[in-house]
Amino acid sequence: MTIAARPPIAILTDFGYRDHYVGAMKGVIASIAPAATVIDITHGVPPQAVTAGALALRESWRFFPKGTVFLAVVDPGVGTARLPIAIETRAGARFVAPDNGLAWPAAEQAGFRRAVELRSARYRMARVSATFHGRDIFAPAAAWLWRGAPITGFGPNVKQITPLEIAGAAQQGRRLGGAVIYIDHYGNLVTNIGRESLERFASSFLAGELSVRIDSSPPIRIVKAYGEARKGAPLAAFGSFELLEIAVRDGSAAEKFGARQGARVWVTKG
């Protein structure tokens, strides 16, 4: 495989776009693997929001070439006993991340093969900050992994990595209960209600149109596309996550409903 054909390093963090943190990580990568193509998935994950970062990574990895190294850092436990790890999968995707569940949904989807602790001094910066493992541990590891360093050389195998279980919707009598698990840049409220859950719930009743409520809001109509609602009106639809999301046509559902991650969502019929 030629250098030009090699898959990229893809980065996801909660570092934002104001500070130098992402730039410093890219500088480390460029020093170790100057030929690597580096792609930003996002740096807009809400601060310390591991679940939101995990969802964004899960919804992104499959669109990259086989062999891509995913460098993911949403790390509220930086400097503690949580391990820095690298993960190898059957699909060929490789993940470098803190062992806090961030990489688990994507790695599980890609077919988890093994994980190792990033312990070797050879593949990290000479001095490791207690607060910036993204620069000092994760970025060097991603760069060396991209260069072809065997994953077994980074450190010992990790027998059990931290899972991140995202609970699904649950039927409670005549309503289906879920929650907001992700809020995107547009203020769309992505829930944990999947198509199968919704269809199963709908089939349990003979008649009646489905509607959605967030907390104690008025009922919201389920549509196929944003354009089916009038401007400024709330709606519910299945988005690119293939999960039911609450939106406002040409507006922000997060602002309209004052909603945050974890807000309760109910689907009712009739």
Give me the residue spans of the domains in the chain: 3-153, 170-269
HSE at residue 53, side-chain half, CA atoms within 13 A, is 28
Q: Which residues of 137-174 are buried (b: 16+ CB within 10 A; e: fewer)?
A: bbbbbbbbbbeebebeebbeebeebbebebeebeeeee
Indicate the SS3 state at residue 159: coil
The answer to whether residue 174 scores a pLDDT higher than 90 is no
Mean of pLDDT values over 59-77? 97
- The full 3-state SS of 76-106, as one line of letters, equals CCCCCCCCEEEEEECCCCEEEEECCCCCHHH
Mean of pLDDT values over 169-185? 92
Residue closest to 218 by CA, chosen among 246, 182, 252: 246
CATH of domain 3-153: 3.40.50.10790
Mean of pLDDT values over 235-241? 93
The answer to whether residue 23 scores a pLDDT higher than 50 is yes
Residue closest to 267 by CA, chosen among 150, 196, 169: 169
- Residue length of the chain: 270
Residue 2 confidence (pLDDT)? 47
Confidence class for position 215, pLDDT limits 50, 70, 90: confident
Mean of pLDDT values over 59-76? 97
Mean of pLDDT values over 150-173? 93
Task: Tell how strand 69-73 and strand 9-13 pair up.
Answer: parallel
The answer to whether residue 114 scores a pLDDT higher than 50 is yes
Residue closest to 188 by CA, chosen among 153, 229, 131, 157: 229
Separation between Cα atoms, residue 242 and residue 226, nearest integer Å? 15
Residue 206 confidence (pLDDT)? 57
Residue 70 confidence (pLDDT)? 98
Residue 1 confidence (pLDDT)? 42
The answer to whether residue 3 scores a pLDDT higher than 80 is no
**In the 8-state DSSP scheme, what is residue 207?**
S
Q: Residue 205 is which amino acid?
A: F
Question: Virtual CA dihedral for 172, 176, 179, 180, nearest 10 degrees?
Answer: -170
Which of 103-107, 141-145, 194-198 is predicted least confidently? Answer: 194-198
Specify whether the CB–CB gap between 143 and 179 falls below 8 A: no
**10-14, 75-79, 196-200 — which one is most confidently predicted on average?**
10-14
Q: Report the percent of the chain where pLDDT is more than 90.
A: 86
Which of 1-5, 22-26, 132-136, 231-235 is predicted least confidently? Answer: 1-5
Q: Which residue has the tokens 């998935």?
A: 41
Residue closest to 264 by CA, chosen among 197, 181, 173: 181
Specify whether the CB–CB gap between 252 and 187 falls below 8 A: yes
Residue 192 confidence (pLDDT)? 95
Mean of pLDDT values over 211-228? 91
Residue 165 confidence (pLDDT)? 86
The answer to whether residue 5 scores a pLDDT higher than 80 is no
Separation between Cα atoms, residue 176 and residue 197, nearest integer Å? 8
Q: Please check whether the domain covering 170-269 is classified as CATH 3.90.1200.10.
A: no
Instruction: For residue 26, give the H/E element and its range.
Output: helix 21-32
Which of 59-73, 82-96, 105-119, 188-202 is predicted least confidently? Answer: 188-202
